A and B are shown apart, each in its own frame.
Chain A
Amino acid sequence: MSMSPQEVQEHMMTYLESTECQIIEKSPYHVTVKLSPQADRQLTGRPYYWGFVDRTGAEPETLSFTFVFDPERYDQHEQEKTAAARQQDHLLSRYYGTAPLLPQLGPGRIQREDVTYGSARLQQIWNAARQEGFCLYLFEQPPSLQRETLFSAPYEPWLGVCFKAEMACDMKKEELHFIGISLVSGQIASPFPDRLKGLTLSPRLPENVHIQPATLSLDAAAGLLESYLTGKLAEMDYGWAEQAKERLKEELAVIDIYYEDLLKEPDEEKLAAIREQFASRRSETTWQYEPKVHLSAITCGLFHLRSKG
C-alpha cells in the first residue's frame, strides 16, 4: 500500500505531538516544528551534541524543520504568499527600496525537508515510534461515574503482543497479528484491537479499581499466545514454500552436476579447494531459497482492562 500526503502528515503529527514537539506553523501541506529534546535525540543523529549536553548540563538547543508533505502545492502556496507580501510592501518600498529576501542561517535556520511515503524520514519516524512504544503498561480509564460508586471495579490484566510474521524464501511476504490473552482466564482475544475498541488507555492507575490476581505467569501466557499463532500460521497455504523447495532442489542438482567431475581431481590440494567451493556454493543456495517463517514482536505490553461480567 502507499500513502496519501494527508496520511503521511497524520503519521508525522502523531509522532510530533506524542513527543511534545513545538508546532510553529501548520497547513494542509506542511508543518514547521521545533523538535523536543526527545525527538531531536531520535531524529537528528547528533550523538556527540547530546553527549555534550548530558555531560555539561548545558541548555539544549534543538533543531527546527519544515516538513513538507505536498511539495507542489506547498511551493505554489508559498509563492502566492510572497507575492502578496510584496504587494503590501509596495508603499514602503517606494521610499526604502525593496529588501531582498535573505536565507536565514545559523541556529535559527529552519531546514526544509519533503516527506513522502518512500522517504527515509518517515521510516525513521516509524522506527523511533517502535522503540518508544515498546513494552506498554496501560490501564483502561473508567467513565467518570466510577469514582462515585461504592464498589471498586475489578480489572483484568491482559498480555497483548503485536507479532510480525515473515514468510521468506528467495521472495517474501509479511503479516501482522495483534493478539491478546487474559492472564486471569486464559481467554485469547484475536484480533486484540477489537477488544480495545472504544477504550481510553493511559499509564495512570484509575481510582477505585482493583486488579484481579493473575493465574497465568507471563511466560506461560506468552507460550499460549505463540502456540495459538502457530496454529493460525499452520493453516496458511504453503504453496509458496513447496515451490521454493522445488527451486532449491533444482538449483542444488545443477550445482551437483557441475562439481561431479571436478571432484574427481587427483591433486589433494586442488581437491580441497574445490570441495570448499562446492560446499560454500551449496550453502549459499540454501540460504537463498530455503523457505522459513520468522516471528518477532512490533510491540508488547500489559493491558489492564475492566472485567466484563
Chain B
Amino acid sequence: MNTSNTSENPHTLPVPLHIDRSWLDQLNNRLEKGGPWGDWGLAQLAIRGEEARLVTSFDELQCLKHLQGLSPLPHQLDTTRKVLFEMSGRAILADEVGLGKTIEAGMILKEYMIRGLVSKVLILVPASLVLQWVRELNSKFGIPAIAQKKAYTWHSDIVVASIDTAKRDPHKDFLLSQEYDMLIIDEAHKLKNKKTTNYQFIQKLRKKYCLLLTATPVQNDMTELFNLITLLKPGQLGRQGDFATNFVVGKRQPKNQEQLKDELAKVMIRNRRGEGPVQFTKRHVTNVSLQLSPEEQALYDGVTAFVKDEYRASGGNLSSMLSLVTLQREVCSSRDAVFLTLVNLSKKIPDESPLTAKVWELVNAIRAIKANTKAEKTIELIRQMNEKVIVFTEYRATQEYLLQYFQKHGLICVPYRGGMNRGKKDWMMDLFRGRAQVMIATEAGGEGINLQFCHHMINFDLPWNPMRVEQRIGRVHRLGQQNDVKIYNLSTSGTIEEHILHLLHEKINMFEMVIGGLDVILERFEKQESLEKRLVKMFLESDSNEEIRQKVNSLGQTLDQIKQQVDYESETMKEEEA
C-alpha cells in the first residue's frame, strides 16, 4: 500500500492525514495491460452501498438498524451509549446476574465494527461458555466469531477462547505479539489478584478498547476493585498509595464514598435488578412433603444403617464415604438410581466379603418396592397445572425411569442432559417448545438452556449445592419470562432430603430471594470447606433426627449472618451509587 502524508500539499489539516494511493497504482497497472476493466453498474452499486452504510455522525448509535430480531432493553441501550460516547470503549460491565451483559457487550462490539473502528477481536471467557458466546454473537449479532480450537484459529479476526488456554504456551507468545482492536473478558472478577499469571497476561495484551464483564465486582475486597480498574485504566483511581489513603478504611469498607462513586462511574456500569423498567416476575415456591410407602421407608432405613455402619468401620474417613452418601440421597429419588449404584458397588467388593450379603439384602429390599411415591405425586401435579413443565433430577437412572413412567401415562416428554451434543440439546429444546409437555433434565448449568416459555418447575430431588439450585431456577426465571414462576419441591418426610430443603428454603430462603449475591455468600462460607462436605459429615455423625435438625439450624444461622453482612455491604454500595 502506498500511504504517505501529503506534506507538499498547500492545505494542511490540523490532524494527520493518511492517503491510501493504491488505487492509482492499480489504475496505472491496468492501463499498461489494457484491462481488465470494472463494470460501471457495479461501481455505482458499490458507491450506493457505501452511502447506505456511511457513518454520518460521531455520536448516533448505528447498530440497532443492523440488528434484526433483537430488541434490547432500555438499560442495555443506555449502557451501550455510555460505553461508546462517555467511556471511549473501556469499561467494566457489572450488571447483576441476568440483566444481559452479553447483549450489552455484543451491541458495543457490533457498533464499533460497523464504524470500522474494530476488526480484530479477542474474547476470553471460561471454557464452558466459549460455544455459547460464539453462538450468541453469530445468531443475535451476525458477528462471525470463531471458537478457538487449533493454533491456526488465532489468525481469525474474531476469536473466542478460554483464558486458561490463551495464557499458556505456545498460544501466549502469539497473542502477545498481536494488536487487538477490542478485548472482551467474561467473568472478569477472577482477575482480581495482581500476582496471578492471568492478570499479568491480560495486562500485557495489546488492546485498544476493552470490556470487562462481571456480576460480582467489588463486594469482597477494595484492593481487588483497584486491581480490576488498573487493568482497564491504570491511574483512574490514582496511585496505589493515594487510593489506600483516599478511599479505604477497612478491607471491605470504602471511605469518601461520594468521590469513589464518581470515579467508579467513569469506568463501571452496574444495572440492578428491580430498578428501572426491568422487572422480574415473582417466584412462588411450594414444598410438597410426601410420606414414603412402607417398602420405600424400609429401603431408606436399610441404606441409612448400611452407610453409617460403613462410616464407623472406616474410622471417619470422609473421602471414601461420598459415594455411600449418594446412595442415601438416591433412595429419596428413585429405586432405579439406588439399584444402579448398588450394582456398581457390589462389583467393586470381593465376593467373600461380608459386605456382599448386606448389599444383596438391600437389593432385595428394592425388589419389594412396587411404586414410586414421588413419581405418582409428580404426575398428579403435572395433570393439575396442565401446562409445560420442567422436571429436574440429579440422577440419570431416575431420569430414565421418569421418561418411561410418564410415557406410560400418556404424557409427552423429552430428556435433557449434559452429555448430549449441542445439536441434540437444541433438538430437545425445540421439541419441548413444540409438542412435548414435559422436559426431564439432569443438568442445568454450563451451556444455558433458556426456557422462558415455561414457568412451572418441579425439583424431583434437590442438589446439595445451592448454586446448582439457583442455576435450575435461572433456566426459567430470567429476562423474557412473562409469568410468575411456580417452583415445586418434592421432599420425603423423615429423610435427609427434608433437612436439605429446610436449610435451603427456610434458612437461606434461597428459592425466593432473587439472587445476585449467592455466589458471594457461598464463597465466603466455603473458605474452609465446601457446603456439600459439611452436610455429608453432619449426616454421618448424627445419631438422631433431632441432632441433625439442630446442626442444620446452626449452619443456617451462619449462612444467614453472612447473607446479612453481604446485604449490608451491597446496601451501602447502592447508597453510594444512588
Q: With both chains docked as a complex, state the minimum distance between the C-beta of A292 and any C-beta of chain B, in angstroms.
A: 5
A82 at the interface (CB under 8 A from B): no
Write the B208-248 contact mask toward A (1 if CB under 8 angstroms, else 0): 11000000000000000000001001111011110000000
**Number of residues in B with C-beta < 8 Å to the partner?**
75
Choice from A175, A284, A293 contacting B54 with Cβ under 8 Å: A175
Q: CB-defined interface of A234-247 with B at 8 Å, one 1/0 digit per residue?
A: 10001011100001
Residues of chain B lying within 8 A (CB to CB) of residue A129? 42-43, 45-46, 49
Whether B65 and A2, one on each chain, are in contact in the complex, defined by CB atoms closer than 8 angstroms, is: yes
Residue-wise interface mask of B (124-156) relative to A, using a CB-CB cutoff of 8 A (1 in contact, 0 not): 000000000000000000101000000000000
- Please name all residues of chain B whose beta carbon is closer than 8 Å to the beta carbon of A280 when the two chains form the complex: 204, 206
Distance in angstroms from A43 CB to nearest chain B CB is 13
B6 contacts partner chain A, Cβ-Cβ < 8 Å: yes
Q: Contacts of B19 on A, CB cut-off 8 Å?
A: 226, 294-296
Chain A 280-299 interface residues, beta-carbon cutoff 8 Å to B? 280-281, 284, 287-299
B80 to chain A, nearest CB (A): 13
Interface status of B50 (Cβ within 8 A of chain A): yes
Partner of B45 from A133, A166, A201 at Cβ < 8 Å? A133
- A259 and B234 CA atoms in complex are apart in Å by 8
Distance in angstroms from B91 CB to nearest chain A CB is: 12
Task: Identify which of A18, A119, A218, A261 contacts B142 (C-beta below 8 A).
Answer: A119
| Residues in A whose Cβ lies below 8 Å from that of B204 | 277, 280
**B54 near A301 (CB under 8 angstroms)?**
no
Per-residue interface assignment for chain B, residues 1 to 31, with 1 indicating a CB less than 8 Å from any chain A CB and 0 otherwise: 0000010011111111111111110111011
Knowing A116-B68, A162-B47, the reply to whether A132 touches B21 (Cβ < 8 A) is no
Which residues on the B side are within 8 Å of A259 (C-beta)? 234-235
Across the interface, do A287 and B208 meet the contact criterion of CB distance under 8 Å? yes
For A126, list chain B residues within 8 Å (CB). 45-46, 49-50, 52-53
Q: Would you call A176 and B51 a contact (CB within 8 A)?
A: yes
Question: Cβ of A118 and Cβ of B58 under 8 Å apart?
Answer: no
- CB neighbours (8 Å) of B88 from chain A are 170-171, 247, 288-289
- Whether the Cβ atoms of A254 and B40 lie closer than 8 Å is no
Does A120 reach chain B (CB closer than 8 Å)?
yes
How many chain A residues touch B (Cβ–Cβ < 8 Å)? 88
Closest to A228 in B: B11
Residues of A within 8 A of B35 (CB): 137
Output the least CB separation between A179 and chain B (Å): 13
| B27/A218 in contact, CB under 8 A | yes
- Complex CA distance for A137 and B53, rounded to whole angstroms: 26
B447 to chain A, nearest CB (A): 25
Q: Are A173 and B11 in contact (CB under 8 A)?
A: no
User: B352 contacts the other chain (Cβ, under 8 Å)?
Assistant: no
Beta-carbon contacts under 8 Å, A250-295 to B: 251, 254-261, 277, 280-281, 284, 287-295
Q: For the complex, is B275 an interface residue (Cβ under 8 Å from A)?
A: no
Q: Are A135 and B26 in contact (CB under 8 A)?
A: yes
* Cross-interface CB contact of A241 among B14, B20, B30, cutoff 8 Å: B14
Q: Are A11 and B23 in contact (CB under 8 A)?
A: no
For the complex, what is the distance from the CA of A299 to the CA of B23, rounded to whole Å?
Answer: 8
Indicate whether A231 reaches chain B with its CB closer than 8 angstroms: yes
CB of A7 to closest CB in B, whole Å: 8
- Report the bound CA distance from A18 to B38 in whole Å: 11
B23 to A300, Cβ gap below 8 A? yes
Query: Which single residue of chain B is at the shortest CB-CB distance from A221?
Result: B24
Cross-chain contact B209 with A125 (CB below 8 angstroms): no
CB–CB A164/B17 < 8 A = no
A132 and B23 contacting across the interface, CB-CB below 8 Å = no
User: Interface code A108-120, partner B: CB below 8 Å = 1, 0 otherwise?
Assistant: 0000000011111
Residues of A within 8 A of B89 (CB): 170, 288
Q: Does B379 contact A (CB under 8 A)?
A: no
Contact in complex: B234, A255 (CB < 8 Å) = yes
Q: Are A277 and B203 interface neighbours, CB within 8 A? A: yes
The reply on B529 being an interface residue by CB < 8 A is no
Cβ of B340 within 8 Å of any chain A Cβ, yes or no, is no
A176 touching B50 by the CB < 8 A rule? yes
A3 in complex: contacting residue of B16, B52, B236, CB < 8 Å: B52
Cβ–Cβ < 8 Å partners of B174 in chain A: none
Q: Is A24 an interface residue (CB 8 A)?
A: no
A101 within 8 A of B: no
User: What would 12 A/B residue contacts be, using CB atoms closer than 8 Å?
Assistant: A118-B68, A120-B142, A135-B23, A137-B35, A170-B88, A172-B55, A174-B54, A174-B56, A261-B240, A287-B208, A299-B46, A302-B31
Listed from nearest, the 7 A-B pairs whose CB atoms lie closest are A126-B49, A133-B43, A258-B235, A118-B66, A133-B42, A297-B23, A130-B46
